[in-house]
A and B are shown apart, each in its own frame.
Chain A
Amino acid sequence: MAITLSGDHAIPSPPLSARLTTPQVWGIVLLAPYLLVFLAFVVYPVGYGLWLARHPASYVALWHDPIFARAAVNTLIFLLIGINVKMLIALFLSGFFAQQRTWIKWLSVLFILPWAVPSIPTILSVRFMLNPEWGVINQLIFKFTAEDGPNWLNDPSVALGMAIGVHIWKSLPFWTLILMTGRLAISHDLYEAAEVDGASWSQKFRYITWPSMQTLYITCTLLSMIWTLGDFNSVYLLTGGGPADLTHVLATLGIRYLRLDQLSLAMASIVCALPFVLPLVYFMMKRLSR
């Protein structure tokens, strides 16, 4: 806006077409398709969704729904454990994969697989591994201890833990890759100088690696928070929200209400997450748009 309009205030504006140069007209034409998509599939749905969630009664109903409270707690646990464990392992492994070894190069090619393949088949594969009767894990437990293994997905806290595990399995490679890029950008001279001075492994990390990577690490953590909040597949495909709807998170809860035809509740549950999401979004936008 600022480019064309600044300084135009004093003189009476000529008609729009005369003020725009040909490239600018083309600019608007080329931008139009995205704007149309944005209006039709972002502005309208969001506005419509907020309108559906306008009744205070929906929020009262949510408040009294034990499943919502449970889902909110689950979401917090999922975020707190899932993100921190994942990011710490990623930070650790980024150092491992930064090593110059041929076998580590090959391992890194395989390591990216969970990220490169779609989540549905792999999550379902884990789901069957955890099957109490036929799954390979319990069969191995039976073979070695002659006792029945636990009914993994039937205990809500174990099931949620497994969903967090699946989430970590899926997204760990991506964050390791990102953190590794950050690590490789650190000048090697620093480490050599530290080596000469006889710095230990932990000192090198504390005084060289961490100071150069902390901004990246925090940005990654925040971004991962937003994405983890929207992780529908890990929970839905592994536990389906069960047993007895005790492992829902906010991302799956909206869909649950939708399936029960409680549309206003579905929207209200999403609106409840917004005070948490929007500050993160605002922060990330400030980070990424110069």
Chain B
Amino acid sequence: MKLPTLREVGTEAKLLLIGIPVFIWTMVPIYHMFLFAISPKEDAFSGKLWPDHPTLNNFSIVFHQQHYFLRDFWIQFWNSVVIALSAGALTLLIATAAAFSISRLRVPGGRWVMNLALFTYFIPAAFLAVPMYRTMGNYGLLNNHWSLILAMVTIASPYAIWVLKQASDKLPVELDEAATMDGATTLQLFRLVYVPLMMPSLVAIGTYAILLAWNEYLYAFLLLSKDTEITLPVALGNFLAADDSPWELLMTTGFIYALPPAAIYYAFKRYMVGGLTAGAVKS
């Protein structure tokens, strides 16, 4: 066995000197959340780094909705699921159609639409929130899930269209030409050639839109207010309304709420990193 040289040990030590602070910095808020989720109330509030009596009781309270703040937990969870999936599906549908139209069919004015979409993408969503709230009020959609779904589609689709357009520009034109020569109609071209070839990007974009909608807080709390209509993040924010909030339950609910997006992220990481980071910043 070859012993590491002094220099190698030195490099490794330097790397560890960076790595350990990075690890601590990253994990502390998440560990703190996890710690609260498995702590009984007395332990959580005593500043211990590991509870004396770790318990899953908090999860049971949340799942059985045994607290005033949690009485609508399951319906709020369901609202989050429905809104995230609908926003994802709708974004995918609208953006794929638009990207196909702009990139493959070279529709007149397509470039112009692309620029408008990009413009929307770069306007911070928080700035659009106030007018969006008023607009949804004018459309009579406030307190209706559609308002949040449509708002999320509006915010997600510009980036979706842009990424999909970039990806589909890379497909060779000859494919379309060959298919058309063989007598494929435009819709067949879309269904049988375009969509299968674009699958990796479509997965990335679908995931992106679902995560965006699932994580959204600002629009959700503006547009939805009834306890049985709101999504989980709004319910979490509502915990703060009371001075003596049950923080261990808040953190437990937050932990449950954070699990699905983390799982989705890691499951689709392959697609996300390839499809999104390449598109996110093109230098």
- Which residues of A approach B to under 8 Å, CB–CB? 1, 3-5, 22-24, 26-28, 30-31, 33-35, 37-38, 40-42, 44-46, 48-49, 52, 93, 96, 99, 101, 103-104, 107, 109-114, 116-126, 128-129, 134-136, 138-140, 143, 169, 173, 177-178, 181-182, 215-216, 219-220, 223, 226-227, 229-233, 236-237, 240, 251-252, 254-255, 258, 263, 266-267, 270, 273, 277, 280-281, 284-285, 287-289
25 A-B contact pairs sorted by A residue (CB < 8 Å): A26-B187, A27-B108, A30-B105, A30-B107, A34-B98, A34-B157, A35-B113, A41-B154, A42-B120, A107-B23, A109-B266, A111-B22, A117-B30, A124-B254, A136-B47, A169-B26, A229-B124, A258-B130, A270-B127, A270-B130, A273-B127, A281-B123, A284-B118, A288-B162, A289-B115
Contact B283 A216 (CB under 8 A): yes
Binds A, one of B61-69, B70-78, B195-203, B214-222: B214-222
Q: Please give the distance in Å from A101's CB to the nearest CB on chain B.
A: 7
Q: Which chain B positions have C-beta within 8 A of A226?
A: 122, 124
Minimum CB–CB distance from B27 to chain A (whole Å) comes to: 7
Do A288 and B254 form a contact, CB below 8 Å, given A37-B153, A48-B135, A139-B46?
no
- Interface presence of B233 (CB below 8 A): yes
Most buried by B among A23, A134, A178, A240: A23
Contacts of B28 in A (CB 8 A): 129
B122 and A181 contacting across the interface, CB-CB below 8 Å: no
Check A121/B157 contact, CB under 8 A, given A28-B101, A48-B131, A113-B30: no
Kindly list chain B residues whose C-beta atoms are within 8 Å of the C-beta of A281: 119, 122-123
Chain B residues with a Cβ closer than 8 Å to the other chain, count? 98
Do A139 and B109 have beta carbons less than 8 Å apart? no
A136-B32, A178-B281 are contacts. A45–B132 as well, Cβ < 8 Å?
yes
Further pairs besides A118-B233, A178-B281, A270-B127: 11, Cβ < 8 Å = A26-B186, A33-B97, A37-B94, A41-B154, A99-B15, A111-B26, A116-B262, A128-B247, A230-B127, A284-B118, A289-B118
The complex places the Cα of A73 from the Cα of B35 at a distance, in Å, of 37
Cβ contacts B22-57/A at 8 Å (1 or 0 each)? 110111111011001000000001110100000000
* List of A residues within 8 angstroms of B255 by Cβ: 121
Give A211 to B77 CA distance when docked, in angstroms.
48
Chain B residues whose CB sits within 8 angstroms of the CB of A28 once the complex forms: 101, 107
One digit per residue, 1 when the CB lies within 8 angstroms of any chain A CB and 0 when it does not, for chain B 262-276 equals 100110000001000
Residues of B167-196 at the interface with A, using a CB-CB cut-off of 8 Å, are 185-187, 190
